[in-house]
Amino acid sequence: MSHHSLGDSTGLGYCSANDRERALRRLRRLGSRRGVAVRFEEERGKGSHGTLYFHDRFTVLKDRRADIKPGFLHAMLRQLGLSERDLR
C-alpha cells in the first residue's frame, strides 16, 4: 500500500497524524495569503472531534490523533471550498 504525505509530488493522499498538523499549517498559511480567517476549535466537537473554520466555511475533523485517509481529506477540502492544488 502506497502512502503519500502532504509534502510529496502528488500533493495529497494518506496523511499521518503529523501530516494533519502540516495540513493545518498549510491551511493557515493559505488563509493568511488570501486574507481570510482560519481557526480550529477543539471545544466545538464531541470527544476527540473539532471544528476547522476557513473563512465562512467549516468542516469537522475526526479524531485528531488518528491518520487522515484520502477520502476524508478530499471531503474536508470540498467542504472548505478548496482543492488539492490550493495546498501545494
What's the mean per-residue pLDDT of the chain? Answer: 77
User: Which comes out higher in pLDDT, residue 48 or 74?
Assistant: 74
- Is residue 76 over pLDDT 60? yes
Side-chain-side CA neighbours of 77 within 13 Å: the count stands at 21
Closest CA to 77 of 32, 18, 13: 13
| Pairwise CA distance, residues 7 & 16, whole Å | 12
pTM, 2 dp: 0.72
Give the residues across from 15 on adjacent strands. 68
Confidence of residue 8 (pLDDT cuts 50, 70, 90): very low
- Is residue 36 over pLDDT 60? yes
